[in-house]
């Protein structure tokens, strides 16, 4: 079932989609008059109210500046930016009553859900961007079959810094078992004894391998965290065919002054601190599982 | 009174943009309840404050459980 929530002309400029939804369901009308429809009704709904066709997708390693990019895009009033909407995860994980779901069905669901999410919220919306959860990079082949023409970027960072970030504050996807082991090239029995930091490195390795594999034969923008925020202006906007006038560029530069995930907090660079905090174990894991892939992504920039 | 009556009113609201526009601005349940009672009464649907309270608690519970 698909849950609907009246969003009025709320611009969806929070760092994450779920934050906007959480605010909207605080309005009693949205809960008391909650409305659900079967997912199979979406084609008819989308035919009556078509959404904006996606203008670009953002995939990423996590903890590498992808939220900064989505926040900067969202600062332009023409852009509707959907930052990691969790309902897309259901498309990839759905097994209703244990039944197998075909790739064709998942592709249809993905198109219809993104179509519904991409409905214009404001008259000035002309473009829609989707930032996927980092582990959805593992589903790139399916996503590309659903949307073969949408340009996409992949955001990454020095692997030591990403590993240190997850060591300090592990993300949900770094919980062993949350991602199907076969998507990581692992067996379920591998997970029990694997140290947490190694599992994290293996997840990141699988994500970057998926991005690199899909990028062969496609035009993809690989974006290194250290090139941000300038890369938004020099690479990402042109790649997504977005022009930005002086006033809009100023609005985007305003975003950079604050922490992308906590917009009330001034931004403070942390790469040097993360490098300093990295243990020998983290550095070894980085060299073993991630550095060669990082260097390939560097070649793709 | 009746949860069925409340459900009848809920279906009416979901089909009526103008009714939704009247109910949406309520910032909290205390503001919403009198609006619901008035609009339901105008349409001959017999619901009382307790019906709305029961529906509200069920709605909150259903939303929380959704994430489990």
**Shortest Cα distance from A33 to chain B (angstroms)?**
6
Residues in A touching B27 (Cβ below 8 Å): 27-28
Q: Is the dihedral of CA A82, A118, A174, A210 positive or negative?
A: negative
Contacts of residue A6 in chain B, CB cutoff 8 Å?
Answer: 20, 24
Mean pLDDT, rounded, of chain A: 93
User: In angstroms, what separates the C-alpha of B12 from chain A's closest C-alpha?
Assistant: 10
CB-defined contacts A:B, below 8 A: 41
Q: Write down the ipTM of this complex.
A: 0.94
Looking at residue A169, what is its pLDDT?
Answer: 92
Query: pLDDT value at position A212?
Result: 97
Range of the domain at B44: 3-66
- Give the residue-averaged pLDDT of A53-57: 97
pLDDT at site B67: 63
Residue A96 is predicted with a pLDDT of 59
Chain B nearest C-alpha distance from A37 (Å): 12
pLDDT over 70 for what percent of chain A?
A: 99
pTM: 0.93
Please tell me which of A82-91, A114-123, A164-173, A203-212 the model is most confident about, judged by mean pLDDT. Answer: A203-212
Q: Which residue, among A28, A30, A31, A35, would best test binding to B if mutated, counting the most B CBs under 10 Å from its CB?
A: A28
Q: Mean per-residue pLDDT for A24-51?
A: 92
pLDDT tens by residue, B5-35: 999 999 999 999 999 999 999 999 999 999 9
Q: What is the mean pLDDT of residues A244-264?
A: 90
How close does chain B come to A31, measured CA to CA in Å?
A: 6
* pLDDT score of B5: 92
Yes or no, beta carbons of A29 and B20 under 8 Å apart: yes
Q: Which domain holds residue A148?
A: 2-299
What does the pLDDT read at residue B24? 93
Q: Which residue of B has its CA nearest to A25?
A: B63
Determine the pLDDT at residue B68. 62
- Say how many domains are in chain B: 1
pLDDT of residue A107: 96
B61 interaction partners in chain A (CB closer than 8 Å):
none
The pLDDT score that the predictor gives to residue A77 is: 93
A23: nearest CA partner in chain B = B27
Residue A240 distance to chain B (closest CA, Å): 34
User: Is it the case that residue A44 has pLDDT exceeding 90?
Assistant: yes
Residue A237 belongs to domain with CATH number: 3.40.50.300
User: What is the pLDDT at residue A233?
Assistant: 96
Q: Which pLDDT score is estimated for A10?
A: 87
Residues of B in contact with A28 (CB under 8 A): 26-29, 31-32, 56
Of A6, A8, A31, the CB nearest to B59: A31
Question: SS3 of B16, please?
Answer: coil
Q: Report the DSSP beta bridge partners of residue A56.
A: A129
What is the tally of structural domains in chain A? 1
Which range has the worst mean pLDDT, A46-50, A94-98, A103-107, B47-51? A94-98
In the prediction, which pLDDT does A97 show? 61
pLDDT at residue A98 greater than cutoff 80: no
């Amino acid at each position: 079932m698909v849950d609907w929530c009246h969003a009025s002309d709320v611009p969806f400029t929070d760092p994450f989609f779920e934050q906007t939804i959480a605010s909207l369901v605080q309005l009693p009308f949205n809960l008391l008059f909650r409305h659900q429809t079967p997912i199979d009704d979406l084609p008819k709904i989308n035919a009556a109210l078509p959404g904006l066709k996606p203008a670009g997708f953002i995939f990423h390693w996590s903890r590498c500046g992808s939220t900064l990019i989505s926040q900067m895009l969202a600062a332009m009033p023409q852009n509707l930016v959907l930052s990691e909407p969790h309902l897309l995860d259901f498309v990839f994980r759905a097994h209703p009553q244990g039944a197998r779901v075909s790739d064709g069905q998942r592709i249809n669901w993905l198109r219809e859900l993104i179509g519904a999410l991409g409905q214009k919220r404001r008259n000035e919306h002309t473009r829609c961007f989707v930032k996927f959860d980092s582990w959805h990079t593992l589903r790139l082949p399916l996503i590309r079959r659903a949307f073969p023409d949408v340009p996409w970027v992949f955001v990454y960072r020095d692997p030591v810094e990403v590993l240190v970030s997850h060591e300090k504050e592990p993300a949900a996807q770094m919980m062993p078992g949350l991602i199907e082991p076969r998507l990581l090239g692992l067996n379920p029995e591998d997970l029990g004894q694997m140290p947490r930091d190694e599992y994290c490195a293996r997840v990141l390795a699988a994500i970057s391998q998926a991005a690199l594999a899909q990028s062969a034969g496609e035009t993809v923008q690989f974006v290194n965290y250290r090139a941000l925020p300038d890369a938004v202006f020099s690479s990402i906007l042109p790649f997504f065919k977005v022009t930005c006038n002086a006033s809009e560029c100023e609005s985007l530069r305003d975003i950079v002054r604050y922490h992308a995930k906590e917009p009330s907090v001034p931004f403070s660079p942390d790469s040097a601190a993360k490098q300093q905090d990295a243990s020998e174990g983290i550095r070894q894991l980085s060299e073993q599982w991630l550095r060669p892939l990082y260097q390939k992504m560097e070649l793709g920039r | 009174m009746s949860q069925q009556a409340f459900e009848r009113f809920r279906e009416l609201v979901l089909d009526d943009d103008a009714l939704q526009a009247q109910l949406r601005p309520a910032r909290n349940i205390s503001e919403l309840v009198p609006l619901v009672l008035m609009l339901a009464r105008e349409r001959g649907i017999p619901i009382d404050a307790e019906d709305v309270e029961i529906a509200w608690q069920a709605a909150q519970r259903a939303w929380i459980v959704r994430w489990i």
